Structure 1
Amino acid sequence: MNKISENKTILITGAITGLIAVLLGAFGAHGLEKHVDAASIDSFTTGVRYQMYHAIVCVILGNMTVLQEIRRKRIFYFFIGGIILFSGSIYLLVIDEIFGISLSSIGFITPLGGLLLISGWIFLIISLMKIK
Structure 2
Amino acid sequence: MRILLICGALLSFLGVAAGAFGAHGLRPILSENMMGAYETGVRYHLVHALAMLVAGLSAHSFNHPVFIRAGWSFFVGIGIFSGSLYVMSLSGIRSLGMLTPLGGIAFLIGWVWLAWGFWSSTEMKNSEGSLS
- Contact kept in structure 1, 2:4 and 2:52, CA below 8 Å: yes
Q: What is residue 37 of structure 1 aligned with on the other side?
A: 31
Q: What is residue 13 of structure 2 aligned with on the other side?
A: 19
Provide the rounded CA distance (Å) in 1 between the counterparts of 2:27 and 2:77. Answer: 26
TM-score (norm 2): 0.85
How many residues are matched? Answer: 120
- Contact kept in structure 2, 1:67 and 1:127, CA below 8 Å: no
The sequence identity of aligned pairs, in percent, is 33
Identify, as 1 or 2, the structure richer in helix. Answer: 2
Aligned structure 1 segments of 4 or more residues deviating by more than 4 angstroms? none
Q: What is residue 81 of structure 2 aligned with on the other side?
A: 86
Provide the rounded CA distance (Å) in 2 between the counterparts of 1:59 and 1:126. Answer: 17
Provide the rounded CA distance (Å) in 2 between the counterparts of 1:105 and 1:53. Answer: 25
Q: Secondary structure at the match of 1:42?
A: helix
For the aligned residue pairs, the C-alpha RMSD in angstroms reads 1.2
Counterpart amino acid of residue 52 in structure 2: C
Q: 1:54 aligns with which of 48, 56, 73?
A: 48
Listed one character per residue, the Cα deviations across residues 13-66 of structure 1 (whole Å, up to 9, x for unaligned) are 001000100111011101112211122112111111111111111112221121
- Contact kept in structure 1, 2:56 and 2:68, CA below 8 Å: no
Structure 1: give runs of 5+ residues left out of the alignment.
1-6, 98-102
TM-score (norm 1): 0.85
Q: What is residue 76 of structure 1 aligned with on the other side?
A: 71
Q: What is residue 62 of structure 2 aligned with on the other side?
A: 66
